[in-house]
Structure 1
Amino acid sequence: MSRLRAPAHPTYLRVVRASAWYDLVVTAGFATPWTYAVVHDALSSCGKALGFGALPELDPWQILFANLMGSVVVIWAALRIVRPLPEHGLFDGVARTLFATWQGYALAHGASRLLWLFLGIEVAFGILQLAPWRWGRNAGPVRNDASQADGRPFDTASR
């Protein structure tokens, strides 16, 4: 079984870290009920001013899910800022694919067009983080912990 080859270029890790900083800045306000109320009002006002539509009124369930998402994304962003690894870029690219999918779903079902701004950034960072993995896939097999230097598997029964 061949594994994907991790992008080794330092520029890739800068992209991973940049996407983390973006996530931290954009989602930190979602992490608590108090900050989310401020962010919600600001986004709603911005949507109205741009003609994209206001956000729905706050309710306890919406606040809970915004806080859960904000908390998880803030921690995930902190990890990628402190220790950016190629694998973090891969997982973040997959997560961005999921986020973009659900944002597209929301837009198709009447969400404020303000969401398009976030969708564009999700797609861009997703492409930047996933594309190098695709290109590296054809670079040849990658040695894993269960292989010797010559590529033969270790005898796992004798371990």
Structure 2
Amino acid sequence: MHFAPPRDLTARVVFASALYDLVVTAPFATPWTATRTIEQLTRVHQALALSGSFALEGPMSLLFLNLMGSIVVVWSVVRLQTPTARLGAADTVGRILFSSWFAFALAQGASTLLVAFLVLEVTWAMVQGLTVFRVLRARRLATIPS
């Protein structure tokens, strides 16, 4: 597979967003890498003496981490191959949902380490959302008869 950054601004933003997702979520895609990643994140949580709980234990937690990691990796590859405004819009909606679940987990006492992930998720939702929805709106307006 060859991924070349596109020239169009919207496609570049969607591509960069997909690349970010791939890098951040690939470590959660397999039981072996997820276990190591969780161990490292637990050490960071403890070393920084962060508040909240960072408890991810057992085969069910690992299963859901792997499912999330796997599907986001696949979704990232799709957007790397085809970085369109429409896929960027769908991803922006997903980012808003992910941000909601991060905020919910924080409100329920999850580790404040999640704040870093939340900030990145909200930032990508705003950057990508502003870019793709502007393009989609312009396209929609261009199709409305005068």
The answer, yes or no, to whether TM exceeds 0.5 is yes
Q: Aligned to 2:12, what secondary structure does the other structure show?
A: helix
Contact 1:55 1:112 (8 Å CA) reproduced: yes
Aligned to 2:103: 104
TM-score (norm 1): 0.79
Aligned to 1:51: 49
**Aligned with residue 12 of structure 2, among 6, 11, 14:** 14
Q: CA deviation at 1:142?
A: 4.2
Q: What RMSD in Å do the two structures reach over aligned CA positions?
A: 2.2
Contact 2:10 2:84 (8 Å CA) reproduced: no
Contact 2:86 2:132 (8 Å CA) reproduced: no
Aligned to 2:125: 126
Aligned to 1:62: 61
TM-score (norm 2): 0.85
Q: In 1, distance between residues paired with 2:13 and 2:105?
A: 27
- 1:88 equivalent in alignment to 2:87: yes
Contact 2:88 2:129 (8 Å CA) reproduced: yes
How many residue pairs get aligned? The number is 138
Q: If you compute each CA radius of gyration, which structure gives the higher value, 1 or 2?
A: 1
Aligned to 1:41: 39
Among all aligned residue pairs of Structure 1 and Structure 2, give the percentage whose two residues are the same amino acid. Answer: 41
Q: CA deviation at 1:56?
A: 0.7
Q: Aligned to 1:126, what secondary structure does the other structure show?
A: helix
- 1:24 equivalent in alignment to 2:22: yes
Whichever structure has more helix as a proportion of its residues is: 2
Could you list the runs of 5+ residues in structure 1 that have no partner in the other structure? 1-8, 145-150, 152-159
Could you list the runs of 5+ residues in structure 2 that have no partner in the other structure? 1-6
- AA paired with 2:85? P
- AA paired with 2:31? P
Q: CA deviation at 1:24?
A: 0.6
**Range with greater deviation from structure 2 (97-106 or 53-62):** 53-62
Q: CA deviation at 1:57?
A: 4.3
Q: Aligned to 2:143, what secondary structure does the other structure show?
A: coil
Q: Deviations over 1:85-131 (max 9, x none)?
A: 11111011000000000000000010000000000010011011112
Contact 1:40 1:55 (8 Å CA) reproduced: no
